[in-house]
């Protein structure tokens, strides 16, 4: 997920590691706030994969800064990561889908675009089914709070599915 966020951050312009972190926090801070200690190794992995190039420049203030730039390979890798399978945990998957909603404008409609919606809707539907079965099994009064928590997640996933269907229809139009 972090590599996807870094690539997304570099779509518009070259950024330093600090700039990448700021962009991620500004756009996705309600979901996560990665540390520089997590971002730096992820950037190094992306450089090794050829997705990012790095160059040192002198700023107006005379400071040496290292700027990261997205390569064409990085744009292709972004598309791959965007459509990759989500975690099997329903709550975490929900967050990952919401993060991708923010990224949709960068993800150009192509053959992967529709695959993203089809695969994600299927995965959400599977989680909905699983949670409904889980709730049905919780009949003991001691399970009250577990059941309430599952019902909240179920409601969230149903709303997520509706949003996916709406965005898919808008993309097809």
Instruction: Indicate which CATH number applies to the domain containing 68.
Output: 1.10.10.10
Q: Specify whether 111 is located in the same domain as 57.
A: no
pLDDT at 110: 65
At 85 the pLDDT is: 66
Does 121 share its domain with 144? yes
Task: Spell out the residues 6+ positions from residue 102 whose beta carbon is closer than 8 angstroms to its own.
Answer: 27, 28
Same domain, 99 and 147: yes
Question: What residues make up the domain containing 61?
Answer: 2-78
The count of structural domains within the chain is 2
Domain boundary among the residues 25, 54, 78 is at 78
Give the three-state DSSP class for 87.
coil
Residues 35 and 96 in one domain: no
Among the candidates 78, 96, 116, a domain finishes at 78
Q: Which residues contact 64 (CB under 8 A, 6 or more apart)?
A: 56, 57, 58
- Token pair recorded at residue 23: 């962009």
Domain endpoint, select from 78, 99, 115: 78
Q: Does one domain contain both 74 and 133?
A: no
- pLDDT reported for residue 94: 85
Does residue 91 share a domain with residue 153? yes
- One domain for residues 62 and 139: no
Look at residue 173 in the predicted model and tell me its pLDDT: 52
pLDDT at res. 158:
95
Q: Are residues 90 and 74 in the same domain?
A: no
pLDDT of 111 reads 64
In a shared domain, residues 46 and 101: no
The tally of CA atoms less than 13 A away on the side-chain side of residue 137 is 8
pLDDT at 119: 85
Q: What is the pLDDT of residue 131?
A: 92
Q: What is the pLDDT along the chain (173 residues), one digit of tens a residue?
A: 899 999 999 998 999 999 999 999 999 988 889 999 999 999 999 999 999 999 988 766 778 888 999 999 999 999 888 877 676 788 888 888 888 888 887 766 666 677 788 888 998 999 999 999 999 988 888 888 999 999 999 999 999 999 999 988 887 55
> Which tokens belong to 76?
């292709």
* CB contact burial 78-96 (16+ within 10 A = b; e otherwise): bbebbbeebeeebeebbbb
pLDDT of residue 144: 87
Which residue in this structure is represented by tokens 């898919």? 168
Tokens of 150: 């599952």
Q: Quick one: 146 and 163 in the same domain?
A: yes
Q: Quick one: 127 and 161 in the same domain?
A: yes
* Closest by Cα among 135, 173, 140 to 154: 135
Task: Clarify whether residues 99 and 139 are in a common domain.
Answer: yes
């Amino acid at each position: 997920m972090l590599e996807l966020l870094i690539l997304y951050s570099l779509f518009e312009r070259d950024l330093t590691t600090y700039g990448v972190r700021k962009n991620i926090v500004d756009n996705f801070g309600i979901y996560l706030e990665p540390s520089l200690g997590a971002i730096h190794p992820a950037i190094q992995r992306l450089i090794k994969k050829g997705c990012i190039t790095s160059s040192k420049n002198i700023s107006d203030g005379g400071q040496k800064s290292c700027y990261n730039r997205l390569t064409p390979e990085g744009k292709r890798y972004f598309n791959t990561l965007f459509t990759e399978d989500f975690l099997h945990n329903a709550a975490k998957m929900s967050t990952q889908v919401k993060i991708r909603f923010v990224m949709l404008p960068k993800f150009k409609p192509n053959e992967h675009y529709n695959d993203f919606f089809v695969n994600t809707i299927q995965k959400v539907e599977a989680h909905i089914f699983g949670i409904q079965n889980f709730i049905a099994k919780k009949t003991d009064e001691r399970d009250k709070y577990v059941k309430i928590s599952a019902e909240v997640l179920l409601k969230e996933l149903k709303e997520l599915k509706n949003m996916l269907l709406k965005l898919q229809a808008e993309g097809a139009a």
